[in-house]
């Protein structure tokens, strides 16, 4: 009986620890870009790379203009 309780406790501790540590993480390599001189009334663009660097899948929910 004691053994069963102990195993249950250990299992819940291990699974609990796993669920706490599994987290998504966004990594942005080179998160700054300088366009330098650019003319008025133009659309200029640059591509940034985003990486899912956590240990759970990453969802991009929204990009809010700065």
CA–CA distance, 52 with 31 (Å, rounded to integer): 14
> Residue 29 in 3-state DSSP?
strand
Q: How far is the CB of 57 from other proteins (least distance, A)?
A: 6
> Residue 6 in 3-state DSSP?
helix
**Binding residues for other proteins, per CB under 8 A?**
23-26, 28, 31-66
- 65: Cβ contacts below 8 Å, ≥ 6 apart: none
Q: Nearer Cβ to other proteins, position 13 or 22? A: 22
Q: Nearer Cβ to other proteins, position 4 or 30? A: 30
Q: Nearer Cβ to other proteins, position 4 or 41? A: 41
């Amino acid at each position: 009986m004691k053994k069963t309780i102990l195993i249950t406790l250990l299992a819940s501790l291990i699974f609990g620890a796993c669920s706490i540590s599994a987290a998504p993480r966004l990594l942005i390599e080179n998160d700054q870009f300088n366009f330098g001189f650019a003319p008025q009334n133009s659309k200029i663009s640059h591509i940034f790379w985003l990486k899912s660097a956590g240990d759970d899948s990453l969802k991009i929910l929204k990009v809010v203009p700065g």
